[in-house]
Structure 1
Amino acid sequence: MVFLVMMLIAVAVVVLVMRAAAAQGGGQGAAGRPVRPPRRPRTQRPTRPLAPDDDPEFLRELERRTKRDDGSLS
Structure 2
Amino acid sequence: MPVVLLVVALMVVVLVVRATAAAGSEVRGPRPARRPRTSGTARPAAPDDDPEFLRELARRVRRDDSPA
When the two structures are superposed, what TM-score results if normalisation uses the length of structure 1? 0.46
Higher-Rg structure is 1
